[in-house]
Amino acid sequence: MKAKDRRELYKKDMGERHKENYANKDASGRFGSIMDATKKASIKLWKCKEDDHEIYFVPYVVGNQHPRLKAGKIDFVLDVFVHRKIGINEDDFICLNRTYKEPCPICVHQAEMREEGDFDADAVKALNPTRRNIFNIVCMDSAKDEEKGVQVWDVSQWLFTNPLEELSHKKKGGGEIAYADIDEGKIISFRKKGSGVTNTEYTAFEFKDREPIADEILDAAVCLDELIHKPTYAEVSSAFFQTKGEEKHTEKEKEKEDEPEERPAKKMTPKKEEKEEDVPESKGSDEECPGGAEFGVEYNQYDECRTCDVRKACLAKKDELDAETKEEKPAEKKKILTRRNK
């Protein structure tokens, strides 16, 4: 490589490294964001404090990572679904399924848990992604805030955007208030109460008139969909299952593989009284109950018996045992005596 080319390469790459270092200066190695670290370092993020606020939205030109629109279209919000606190580092990841309609390993695992039947409802619910809205905003709280220009705000769709949309929807079929329109849009006045995931509330929404958005503000709008990091399936899977590109296995599955095969302990549910149904075809039994009950003896005494693969064989064994018991029982002697007269 020529000296001139080498110097240009050094300058270009070192510029990127400086941006990365600045972006990661406060990083703890945990709680990874859905935003690209390098791009995040070059924007202003708005922190909505507990107080009264006045903001307006700034539309932007859509890039190549928008979930619904083609590049070049105009939007004012990036609507995404996010899996929170994933893996030992508790990172956030865009849900590939709910956001982009692509396979998501966390959603696949959640579906598998539901199919098992005997699942932990709280554990399944914890895997649900949360819905987030990302906006370009200008804060009008003070002249100093307004001088900051365009800032990016990441907020809960449920807590903020839902009540905002209710306000924008006119009663009795009156249409919608186009609060993000560049000319006839509105300043959004609201109040934030509380902090944290469960205590935050956005209330006291009100629309106020504003001037058309200036061209320099429109030019400063961030391409929100290009700002976020869209992970690969393997990346999410690696963080979620704590693997490094290997075939995913849960700890429970790994333990099961290492253990020798043995007869399962009896952990079956006592069966409720019900009308006997047709016995399903057996797939072979080898004189053993897969649930750990006594084969043939405890036939149809548990809920699991209804769908058991060896149900028919178990019934046959029961009939065989009943027949043997009947043969072994001594025959009852008939009374052939004549009753005596007094």
**For residues 57 and 137, what is the distance between their CA atoms, to the nearest angstrom?**
5
Give strand ranges (E) for the chain. Answer: 52-57, 60-61, 74-75, 77-86, 91-94, 130-139, 151-156, 186-193, 201-209
Structural domain includes residue 254: no
Domain final residue pick, 241, 272, 289: 241
Across 301-320, average pLDDT:
78
Residue after which a domain boundary falls, among 179, 206, 241: 241
Q: What CATH number is associated with residue 217?
A: 3.90.198.10
Tens digit of each residue's pLDDT (9 = 90 or more) over 215-235: 999 999 999 999 999 999 999
Same domain, 147 and 75: yes
Looking at the fold, whether 230 and 144 belong to one and the same domain comes out as yes
Instruction: Select from 183, 209, 241 the last residue of a domain.
Output: 241
Residues 314 and 171 in one domain: no
Whether pLDDT at 337 is above 70: no
pLDDT tens string 159-181: 999 999 999 988 777 789 999 99
| 43: Cα within 13 Å, side-chain hemisphere | 25
Round to whole Å and give the CA distance between 221 and 218.
Answer: 5
Name the residue range of residue 274's domain: 264-327
Instruction: For residue range 110-128, list pLDDT tens digits in order.
Output: 999 988 877 788 989 999 9
Claim to verify: residue 152 and residue 191 sit in the same structural domain = yes
Please check whether residues 155 and 207 belong to one and the same domain: yes
CA–CA separation, 342 and 336 (whole Å): 19
Q: Are 47 and 154 in contact (CB under 8 A)?
A: no
What tokens appear for 216 in the block?
Answer: 């320099």
Max mean pLDDT among 1-10, 197-206, 242-251, 322-331 falls in 197-206
Name the more confident of 240 and 336.
Answer: 240
**Percent of the chain at pLDDT above 90?**
51
The answer to whether position 322 is within a domain reads yes
Q: Is residue 5 part of a domain?
A: no
Do residues 237 and 273 share a domain?
no
Total domain count, the chain: 2
Residue 229 and residue 108 share a domain? yes
- Is 90 exceeded by the pLDDT of residue 251? no
Is 335 within a domain?
Answer: no
Question: Is there a single domain that holds both residue 161 and residue 51?
Answer: yes
Q: How many residues make up the chain in this entry?
A: 342
Q: Please tell me whether residues 215 and 277 are part of one structural domain.
A: no
For residues 19 and 42, the answer to whether their CB atoms sit within 8 Å is yes
pTM exceeds cut of 0.75: no
Task: Check the CA dihedral 105-110-116-122 and report its sign.
Answer: positive
Q: Tell whether 232 and 323 lie within a shared domain.
A: no
CB 179 within 8 A of CB 47: no
Among 151, 127, 129, smallest CA distance to 79 is for 129
pLDDT of residue 215: 97
Lowest mean pLDDT among 50-59, 241-250, 315-324: 241-250
CA 333 to chain centre: 73
Instruction: Report how far residue 56's alpha carbon sits from residue 208's, in angstroms, rounded to the nearest whole number.
Output: 10
Q: Give whole-number Cα distances, 233 to 86, 251, 261, 280, in Å.
A: 14, 20, 33, 41
Contact present, 218 and 183 (Cβ < 8 Å): no
Q: Are strands 52-57 and 130-139 parallel, antiparallel or unpaired?
A: antiparallel
Give per-residue pLDDT as tens, 256-277.
444 444 444 444 555 544 444 4
Over residues 272-290, the mean pLDDT reads 50
Which position has the token pair 């109950």?
Answer: 289
Burial 279-296 (b: 16+ CB within 10 A, else e): eeeeeebeeebebbbebb
| Cα end-to-end span (Å), the chain | 134
* Cα dihedral sign, 80-86-90-93: negative
